Amino acid sequence: MKCKQKAGQVLGNQTEPMCKDCLRLSLLSKFKTGLNHQGAVGGSDKVLVAFSGGPGSRLALQFLCELQSKLQDEAESCKDRNSAVFDVGVAFVDESGAQGIPLTDAQKTLDEIASVVAEVRPTPLPLHLTSLESLFENEVLELQASSKLHEDDNSGKDNKDKSRQRLIELLSRVEDQTGKEDLVEHMRMDALQRVAKHYGYTRVVLGLCTTRVAARVLAATAKGEGFALPAGIQYVDARWPVPVLLPLRDCVSKELSVLCHLTNLKTVFLKKMTAMGNSRASINSLTHSFISLINEENPSREYTIMRTAAKLIPFGFNKLAQDDSMLHFNGRPRNPHARRNLGRIEPCEIEVLCPICSAPLAKSDFSSLQPKVSVSDSFTRMSLEEAFEPSTSGIDSELLPSKIFRDVCCPSCQYQIIPDQSKDSVLELLPLMVQQRAAASLLRKEGWMREYIGDCLLESDE
Amino acid sequence: MQLTLEFKGGLELLFGSVKVHQIEVEPSDGKDKLKLQELLIWVRNHLLKERPEMFMKGNSVRPGVLVLINDCDWELLGQLDAVVDEKDTVVFISTLHGG
């Protein structure tokens, strides 16, 4: 037994009998390591936890609040007014529109989620409820902790109904099941980023664990997403307007689930496309099942897969900018010399990202340089951050012809989500922000091509 | 023999959306103890409402389903050979849904 004092209750770290307390300490230690990677969370940060109801995000929320409380107590006991402590908020993305779940049932789920979040700590946590269909609403929503899915005001209700219908129509036009699931996942991240940006959060924490990372690695291999694979499995992913953290990356789902049960942490099961469905329906569900299967024989397999993939060279955006908070998350000034050696990472260059899934594009995936497309002047200097906000300037959403749009998408999205070049049926229903990102990516791609052949270009006076 | 069975992580959907079941099961051959393997067969025959392949594979639980007997991992108790006693609590947790 790990502590040699209490009886072992669970086989942790693949082969080590642990009591409840040792299991908790083991997971908390891994969580703190992930959180403190590159000093990802400092005293001045506002951290938004993406809560799905599952054990991973439930524990991420619990650990964060416990750390916050401990730091606040330490700051008060030392009476150190300079010792800032990070703030915590919670976001939940309602996906009932994608599941065809009636609104009344969806509201019950929201109430359950709110009830679980209310129990996390004595002082209420800010809870931001959003939905996939909110991406189609041009106005910035005022989100409240106890918001209903429909506002009492009829015009707001009509707007939400139309958005929901558009979401349902969009997903019905994606014929590939894997593509449908992936599109929902990409929209989920977009919805989280909108909430985070609107409410001034500086970090988004996901409850992604080793098990799910391992399944993603296998799925990405099958989908041809090899180039972009390192991007989404590091502790830090700063390609988004609000950087995303994966502090539970080194924790397996079994330990997270067992700890939630042993410590009576309530979780909420939400039927998603990949959960409790036909395991052969999509690449994602197949890989989830496969990971569970190979773990039966050897519980360390999922960890091995994750660690192997983690050895791939990360992108420049997997490193936080140097001017980020100089305070350790315990409020003490950070020692810059104690940072890990990230010398293998190239200085951050602006990657060209797929407008649908934000995967970095391999330059070898670009087709031949397209004729210059006339793009609205307002996109000339648009940054990725700006492209995240739905435009209110009345710009026509159909900015790019479908062939041009597809040319700046990654091969995986081209094949699974928008496979048919002759039809615009999916493109015309994608959120406006996706079209705007496509235009921004096209400009970046053209800029890269121009730089690549720069030596061969004549100066204007030659 | 009276037992409490609990289903979590979405498994409750296979059991009429009921998470906690109080059951009474007779060990075979008049024994006073029940092996987990026998209990699983009983659960499949008497409690499972739909999609048995989501809960069981062969005579064991499907990969990805955790089993705890009185809050102890069944891997420490002999898995299918683990023995349950009167008034024990057996918890089944699916890890196929995470996050």
The 10s digit of each residue's pLDDT in A254-272 is: 999 999 999 999 999 887 7
Residue given tokens 């980020």 in the structure block: A324
**Which segment, A77-91, A128-142, A145-159, is predicted with the most confidence on average?**
A77-91
* SS3 at position A158: helix
Interface subset of B 2-21, CB within 8 angstroms of A: 8-10, 12-13
Question: What is the per-residue pLDDT for A80?
Answer: 61
Q: Where is average pLDDT lowest: A55-64, A230-239, B47-56?
A: B47-56
Distance of CA A434 to the CA centre of its chain: 16
Q: Give how far A292 is from chain B: nearest CA, Å.
A: 5
Flag if B62 and A54 touch (Cβ within 8 Å): no
Q: Is residue B21 a contact partner of residue B45, using CB atoms and an 8 Å limit?
A: no
**Which segment, A2-11, A160-169, A190-199, is predicted with the most confidence on average?**
A190-199
Question: What is the per-residue pLDDT for A351?
Answer: 79
Q: Is residue A400 a contact partner of residue A435, using CB atoms and an 8 Å limit?
A: yes
User: If pLDDT is split at 50, 70 and 90, which confidence band does A391 have?
Assistant: very low
**Chain A positions in Cβ-Cβ contact with residue B10 (cut-off 8 Å):** 269, 271, 275-276
Q: Where is average pLDDT lowest: A90-104, A135-149, B21-35, B63-77?
A: A135-149
> pLDDT for A352-362, tens place per residue?
899 999 999 98
What is the C-alpha separation between A214 and A130, in angstroms, rounded?
Answer: 28
Angle at the Cα of A74 from the Cα atoms of A69 and A79, rounded to 5 degrees: 125
Mode of pairing for the β-strands spanning B20-24 and B2-8? antiparallel
**Chain A positions in Cβ-Cβ contact with residue B73 (cut-off 8 Å):** 8-11, 258
Flag if B66 and A56 touch (Cβ within 8 Å): no
Question: What is the per-residue pLDDT for A357?
Answer: 95
Q: What are the C-alpha distances in Å from A242 to residues A237, A360, A409?
A: 9, 17, 22
**Chain B positions in Cβ-Cβ contact with residue A17 (cut-off 8 Å):** 76
Question: What is the per-residue pLDDT for A271?
Answer: 76
**Chain A positions in Cβ-Cβ contact with residue B93 (cut-off 8 Å):** 257-258, 261
Question: What is the per-residue pLDDT for A445?
Answer: 77
Contacts A–B by Cβ distance under 8 A: 92
A210 at B interface, C-beta within 8 A: no
Kind plus residue range of the DSSP H or E element containing A445: helix A432-452
B98 at A interface, C-beta within 8 A: yes
> pLDDT for A322-343, tens place per residue?
654 444 454 444 444 433 333 2
User: If pLDDT is split at 50, 70 and 90, which confidence band does A230 have?
Assistant: very high
A419 at B interface, C-beta within 8 A: no
User: If pLDDT is split at 50, 70 and 90, which confidence band does A278 have?
Assistant: low
* SS3 at position B92: strand
Q: pLDDT at residue A365 above 60? A: yes
Q: Where is average pLDDT lowest: A142-151, A195-204, A313-322?
A: A142-151
Q: What is the CATH number of domain B2-94?
A: 3.10.20.30
What is the C-alpha separation between A333 and A252, in angstroms, rounded?
Answer: 32
Listed by start position, the domains of chain A span 10-347, 349-454
Flag if B99 and A53 touch (Cβ within 8 Å): yes
Flag if B96 and A288 touch (Cβ within 8 Å): yes
Give the mean pLDDT of B55-62: 92
- Report the 10 Å Cβ neighbour count for B51: 12
Q: pLDDT at residue B43 above 80? A: yes
Question: What is the per-residue pLDDT for A345?
Answer: 30
Question: What is the per-residue pLDDT for A14?
Answer: 73
Give the mean pLDDT of B18-34: 85
- Between A352 and A377, name the one with better pLDDT: A352
Q: pLDDT at residue A402 above 60? A: yes
Q: Say what the pTM is.
A: 0.86
What is the C-alpha separation between B64 and B60, in angstroms, rounded?
Answer: 11
Q: Out of B66, B91, B99, name the one closest to residue A52 (CB).
A: B99
Q: Is residue A366 a contact partner of residue A407, using CB atoms and an 8 Å limit?
A: yes
CATH topology for A10-347 is Rossmann fold (3.40.50)
| CA-based radius of gyration for chain B | 13
Flag if B99 and A207 touch (Cβ within 8 Å): yes
In this structure, what are the phi and psi dihedrals at residue A10, rounded to the nearest 5 degrees? -145, 150
Interface subset of B 14-73, CB within 8 angstroms of A: 54, 62-64, 66, 68, 71-73
Question: What is the per-residue pLDDT for A270?
Answer: 86
**Chain A positions in Cβ-Cβ contact with residue B55 (cut-off 8 Å):** none
Q: pLDDT at residue A53 above 60? A: yes
To the nearest whole number, what is the mean pLDDT of chain A? 81
Q: Is residue A327 a contact partner of residue A34, using CB atoms and an 8 Å limit?
A: no
What is the C-alpha separation between A168 and A311, in angstroms, rounded?
Answer: 39
Question: What is the per-residue pLDDT for A274?
Answer: 58
- Between B89 and A76, name the one with better pLDDT: B89
Listed by start position, the domains of chain B span 2-94
Q: Out of A8, A211, A262, name the one closest to residue B95 (CB).
A: A211
Question: What is the per-residue pLDDT for A421?
Answer: 62
> pLDDT for A90-138, tens place per residue?
999 999 999 888 888 899 999 999 999 999 999 999 999 999 999 998 6
**Chain B positions in Cβ-Cβ contact with residue A295 (cut-off 8 Å):** 63-64
User: If pLDDT is split at 50, 70 and 90, which confidence band does A1 have?
Assistant: low
User: If pLDDT is split at 50, 70 and 90, which confidence band does A60 have?
Assistant: very high
Contacts of A38 (CB under 8 A, 6+ apart): A235, A236, A319, A320, A339, A340, A342
Q: pLDDT at residue A144 above 60? A: no
